[in-house]
Amino acid sequence: MPSKSRAKRRKLPWYLRPFKWLLWFAVLSVVWVLVYAVVPPPVTFTMLADRNGITKDWTGLANIDRNMVRAVIAAEDGKFCTHNGFDREAIEQAIERNAQGRRMRGGSTISQQTAKNVFLWQGSGWTRYVRKVPEVWFTFLIETIWGKRRIMEVYLNVAETGIGTYGVEAGAQRYFKHGANKLTPAEAARIAAILPLPKKREAVSPSGFTRRYGNMITARIGQVRRDGLDGCVFR
């Protein structure tokens, strides 16, 4: 049997141990992303933390109306098909806006939101900034391994669409009493309009900002279709 002194010599120096942990994190995260490339994420940290319960119904992209895809591109990420997961211009604008002390506003793409929703936590305050580091890593992984179509499919199934409601299928059933495969442009736009604040905004009979925002998204859906801004999703 090896002596204690020999076993001790084989241990990594303390200053190298963080690299070992980072290597393990990298390997496990890649495996995690590979699994979810073909398997629907069963649950997320956001869902587990929701005291209102979880209502969801995984639906493949082929069974989600194209209006819904175009609505979230119009509302959340007009450059979805052309960026590599990060919209530098939007990030710079958000930083400038926040530095001026104006209302906090992020510059996250759909890819970043998907990475956050599936693999990480929502967070607030300083935990929000801590999350940004692994968010960049997971965004890079899903862009590289999944591709745009899978990112969109997962996003539309894990995004919070109401109190205790996740995914556009559950949202469509909750608000309009039919499946996501039959969403009209106006209905899809209303769901997209509430995504930033699904617990506070109303998709049915919206008023004020939500109504105006929904109408604007409805108009933009046609532009997304005409300009082919959804071309990476619908080949």
User: Which tens digits make up the pLDDT trace of 144-166?
Assistant: 999 999 999 999 999 999 999 99
Q: Which whole number is the average pLDDT over 17-22?
A: 84
Sign of CA dihedral 35, 109, 75, 227: negative
pLDDT number for residue 128: 76
Q: Packing angle between helix 110-119 and helix 17-36, nearest 10 degrees?
A: 110
φ/ψ region of 145 (left if φ > 0, alpha if ψ in -120 to 50, else beta) reads alpha
Question: What's the pLDDT tens digit per position in 187-224?
Answer: 999 999 999 999 999 899 888 999 999 999 999 999 99
Instruction: Give the pLDDT confidence score for residue 159 in this predicted structure.
Output: 97
Q: 3-class DSSP state for residue 47?
A: helix
* Pairwise CA distance, residues 41 & 29, whole Å: 14
pLDDT digits (tens, 9 = 90+) for 51-100: 999 999 999 999 999 999 999 999 999 999 999 999 988 777 777 766 66
Interacting residues of 79 by C-beta distance below 8 A, sequence separation 6+ = 87, 90, 109
- Determine the average pLDDT of the residues in 159-184: 97
Q: Are 41 and 118 in contact (CB under 8 A)?
A: yes
Inter-residue contact 120 to 45 (CB < 8 Å): yes
Q: What percent of the chain has pLDDT over 70?
A: 91
pTM here is 0.89
Could you give the CA distance from residue 104 to residue 218 in angstroms, rounded to a whole number? 25
How far is it, in rounded angstroms, from Cα 156 to Cα 104? Answer: 24
Rounded to whole angstroms, how far apart are CA atoms 81 and 84? Answer: 8
